[in-house]
Amino acid sequence: MNLLIKGGRVIDPSQGMDAVMDVLIADGVVLELGQGLSAPEGTPAIDATGLIVTPGLIDMHVHLRDPGLEYKEDIATGSRSAAAGGFTSVACMPNTSPVIDSKAVASYVINKAKSEALVNVFPIGCITKGGKGESLAEMGELKEAGCVGVSDDGKPVCNSELMRRALEYAKGIGIAVISHSEDLALVGEGVMNEGFVSTELGLKGIPWAAEDIAVAREVYLAEFAGAPVHIAHISTVGSARIIRNAKARGVKVTCETAPHYFTLTDDAVRGYNTNAKMNPPLRSAADVEAMKAGLADGTIDAIATDHAPHHPDEKDVEFNVALNGIVGLETSLPLSLKLVEEGCLDLNHLVSLMSCNPAKILGLDRGTLKVGAVGDVTVIDPAKEWQVEAAKLESKSKNSPFLGWKMKGRAVYTVVKGQVVYQA
């Protein structure tokens, strides 16, 4: 749990830090930052010359499929995928089997992660019992068990009164509420974004209004309750505009988007590509630009993957019946670094989006390299070129729309509590 990282460009927005220096970790925590640091004899060292050193990246929205759906992914394989992507911490969603709506299931995830995971695993519990949207889960019990947030991700809480009470109760106990925002009546039997491409392919569309209306409801409920809410995986022009306006008037709303929403449009569905099927669906070019603008101006607080592994048998079917979701832990960093290359973001802002801000939203003692902080570090080579190959992905599932893509930039060392858990 001791490590010396020498000569890297250390970027830590939590301290306003961007300078070439060394990082010394001892007993799993950051002991010292500075130039020309020395360490006790025998301390492992990383030469980070020409590389970027950041607080460990945090993905606040992943699906590890454990318990119950381990044929898609499990805690061991999901954490290996996270480590390979440069993530030192992940927050896993509760739509498992059984769902994470009790202390027993939350404790199972935490205990299994302690013995099998390479990275920190923080469970998200359900907002409602069974994730059924009918009555509130025992949020206090879930927080005591170690859950860092609650969400019925995969489904919205349709009952507005129930969502109001969830926000009020969660505010009282200090746990984050993460909303999957969609109007199911408008979604109907839709399977992709409603527009020219859906019409051309003969597929039932999902209108942007299905997301925007639901996001607006969450914003107004949060404003009414005086409680914070976090909106998962936003994808539309309207969602960004609603959240931007809400923040301007002081509503406690945060949100995330995923790399596929600022990289791909619904054109990716052509050929009935089920690896381009997700929820919310890939949108239009205007929506992609809105995600970039929202990231640039601070409307969008975090980049999260919504890593959603599926077995090939669940994707190698007709588009209408294929399951939603893609794997994303290992492609998130290079796709996000592309925003820096394009001039949309600078590196400091990107580190905030992928480390500091997720930590703040979930209340984690991570996302910083301050002296005394947990020694979670990501070392990045922004110039490293590589190709996405299914056989080389650490995830148990390979359902990615980026297979065959040439990427630039990746994590070359992932360090958790002073221990190297991944080396490229």
Catalytic residues: 306
Q: Is 357 annotated as a binding residue?
A: no
Query: Is 95 marked as a binding-site residue?
Result: yes
CA distance 18 to 347: 9
Element (H, E) at 145: helix 139-145
Contact assessment for residue 275 and residue 250, using Cβ atoms and an 8 Å cutoff: no
* Backbone CA torsion sign across 336, 342, 344, 349: positive
What residue has token string 């489904």? Answer: 155
The CA distance from 267 to 336, in Å, is: 20
65 is in an annotated binding site: yes
Q: Is 180 annotated as a binding residue?
A: yes
Please enumerate in sequence order all residues whose Cβ is within 8 A of that of 271, keeping only pairs 6 or more positions apart, or say none.
none
* CA angle 261–151–138, rounded 5-degree value: 175
Cα distance between residue 64 and residue 128, in whole Å: 20
Residue 120 counted as an annotated binding residue: no
Which of 99, 85, 25 lies closest to 109, judged by CA? 99
**Binding residue per annotation — 59?**
no
E strand or H helix that includes residue 80 = helix 75-84
Q: Give me the helix-helix angle, 209-225 and 160-173, nearest 10°.
A: 50
| Bridge partners, residue 11, by sequence | 18
Q: Answer yes or no: are the C-beta atoms of 356 and 13 closer than 8 Å.
A: yes
63 is in an annotated binding site: yes
> What residue numbers does the annotated binding site for substrate cover?
63-65, 95, 279, 310
Q: What residue numbers does the annotated binding site for Zn(2+) cover?
A: 61, 63, 153, 180, 233, 306
Question: Which residue numbers belong to the known binding site?
Answer: 61, 63-65, 95, 153, 180, 233, 279, 306, 310
